[in-house]
Structure 1
């Protein structure tokens, strides 16, 4: 298994094993219990995002590592939740999600992208976007099939594929642009390839799809009869261009699952409310999995979100996060860190090669322990980037948090 996985990731077995161990046990120090005879994910000890946040809290560091806001959500949402918990919204909801919320999500896509999925048969509410990703993979992918994904990648993609008994096939994106080489993607397609996982705006680079990217994806998916899982959790946080959702292309509409996060949209990541949009046959399979997983997402949270989502609060997100991005990068202008302003999402990649030759995990640890700022090493999204000397900073923070961090970073 290790040998096969090493080949898939383009790494030798020893390097992969060492990276996985350091990747997941650096902050936890956990050891597998002897009672576990055969772990489904034997080398994974925990989330690097959570581990870094715990370490930052322990050290009192300014935490720009994990992707969550440190500012309050819209007061309308809090007021709506207060009304909801005072009403009759305390029992099980529908497994597919609140009808009102599904209708609100469909209207959001109509307003933003001029596509309107059918709320009854094509929109499903999930307990966070990670669950939507997991359910889509486990319901649509079978053992020994292959799933192509792009690295650097969010940490849940490959484990979701492995838990389905399938094989993750990694295509590396090359810094600093992280553009997709579509010829390489097509070269990696085999008779066993079943799905391509894509992500725009891309986490961690912030790269956003172009019309040509969508065209090439549609051509490959149609040519080889592939499914597409499109992670679009930052779809309404795009700066220099308009977001292009996968289901805007007619060739992709019937074969794509679009995943989103209302927790991201409404600055309440701890509420764990996401969604999956897909054609009815795909949605039907996804709902089968969810029915025997969480059964249904929390009822009062869905109700409160539905009320506020219809107020179209999401329209102001690009301006809000553009101001935060600009404040962060202006704070770095006279520093030794290099960067290209991110195109979307709420993360900024920063190059520290002018400061240190340490690997990114070593420099990240040094930055936290010596200077009191927590950032995520890009090798957390793919071990092959350990020497790229890139860190990911989250700028979805209060102004005082961003100013405190950049004041420290300018003096390094």
Structure 2
């Protein structure tokens, strides 16, 4: 059978997690927390499971949740959005990105992707009949805006950014957004997908969002994730915010892709979203980042700056000359810790001998992992 995605196989996340299970290794590879969710969410879920909320919600989302999201955006970003026309609740951020690309990209149109990039972007562009155009960031994960300006052209339909950035943990500066605004201004038909699923997991630096820029938000699809924000990754609930003229096209795909998202989860999140302060999330994860950094201080790894997300990148040049994929396989088998190689996030498999750890784990897990890593 001829495949539509000849370059796609088993994802590195699945591979490393399977290896971690096989070799009884500590899994710091896949990006999911291993600690309990907020007890209040558990209580609300139990309560709502007994209520009459088990049928389809409206396609775009439960009205109470849409209103809660609008209120959250107003509190955090001082932006007023219309709940009924500018928000779409999705079955996870990945489904939202897929629906957006399917709705907006026509055969032959280009989508600019900044590498290293989350692995769902490229296949979704291919399936839409578009052409992914990859631009590599510099080795320090900063963006070469001169190359972006030289690459974007009349065929470019969408530019995708990811801030805070997975896998690097890097955050865009205000100067980056000034450059982005210039690119958008030079290309009036260009649409931005701003993947901001880690928007509330930020540390010392301020998070600059497409919400804060009028030029951007009027031509942007902003991607958010309840799974990341409330460490509910298994619930697979995210949302898109975009102007009505863009979102109405995405809804056309969404309604035939999933139609609507889990009703009990939506009701529970609607009840919870107004009671919690998302601005404290950064402090929670910053403590974990600092704890892991402290535990790794005597290791031979070079820890790179982690400004947001719950990922810590590390160079191992002082340890081995193996490729990053080979090194991660060796670590699972011989050290008992699973990580993710960064080369898999590059279209051309660029290898800077850098790997990614997830520190969204209990202190016990981080201590045990660091003890093993420090023995290398």
Provide the secondary structure at the position in 2 that maps to 1:292. Answer: helix
How many residues are paired up? 375
Deviations 1:259-286 (A, max 9, x none): 0110111111000000000000111011
Paired residues of 1:359 and 1:386 also in contact (CA < 8 A): no
| Superposition deviation, residue 312 in structure 1 | 2.5
Provide the secondary structure at the position in 2 that maps to 1:290. Answer: helix
Alignment partner, residue 345 of structure 2: 381
1:5-404 paired onto structure 2 within 5 Å: 36=1, 38-175=2-139, 177-225=140-188, 226-382=190-346, 384-404=348-368
More off after superposition, 126-135 vs 304-313: 304-313
More off after superposition, 269-278 vs 44-53: 44-53
Unaligned runs of 5+ in 2: none
Kindly report structure 1 stretches of 4+ aligned residues shifted beyond 2 Å: 383-387
| Superposition deviation, residue 384 in structure 1 | 4.0
Paired residues of 2:45 and 2:268 also in contact (CA < 8 A): yes
Provide the secondary structure at the position in 2 that maps to 1:153. Answer: coil
| Superposition deviation, residue 97 in structure 1 | 0.8
Q: TM-score, normalised by structure 2?
A: 0.98
| Superposition deviation, residue 174 in structure 1 | 1.7
Paired residues of 1:361 and 1:386 also in contact (CA < 8 A): no
CA distance in 1 between counterparts of 2:136 and 2:219 reads: 24
Paired residues of 1:108 and 1:312 also in contact (CA < 8 A): no
Deviations 1:68-106 (A, max 9, x none): 000000001011100110100111111101111111111
| Superposition deviation, residue 387 in structure 1 | 3.0
Deviations 1:44-78 (A, max 9, x none): 12222122112211221100000000000000101
CA distance in 2 between counterparts of 1:383 and 1:335 reads: 30
| Superposition deviation, residue 316 in structure 1 | 1.6
Unaligned runs of 5+ in 1: 1-35
| Superposition deviation, residue 295 in structure 1 | 0.7
Deviations 1:154-193 (A, max 9, x none): 0001111111100000110122x21111111000012211
Provide the secondary structure at the position in 2 that maps to 1:334. Answer: coil
CA distance in 1 between counterparts of 2:84 and 2:210 reads: 20
RMSD: 1.1
Paired residues of 2:96 and 2:239 also in contact (CA < 8 A): yes
| Superposition deviation, residue 383 in structure 1 | 5.2
CA distance in 1 between counterparts of 2:98 and 2:81 reads: 21
Provide the secondary structure at the position in 2 that maps to 1:197. Answer: strand
Paired residues of 1:200 and 1:232 also in contact (CA < 8 A): yes
| Superposition deviation, residue 342 in structure 1 | 0.2
| Superposition deviation, residue 258 in structure 1 | 0.3
Paired residues of 2:100 and 2:250 also in contact (CA < 8 A): yes
Q: TM-score, normalised by structure 1?
A: 0.89
Provide the secondary structure at the position in 2 that maps to 1:267. Answer: coil
Deviations 1:308-345 (A, max 9, x none): 11113422210100000001111110110001230000
| Superposition deviation, residue 235 in structure 1 | 0.2
CA distance in 1 between counterparts of 2:341 and 2:163 reads: 20
CA distance in 1 between counterparts of 2:111 and 2:7 reads: 20
| Superposition deviation, residue 385 in structure 1 | 4.9
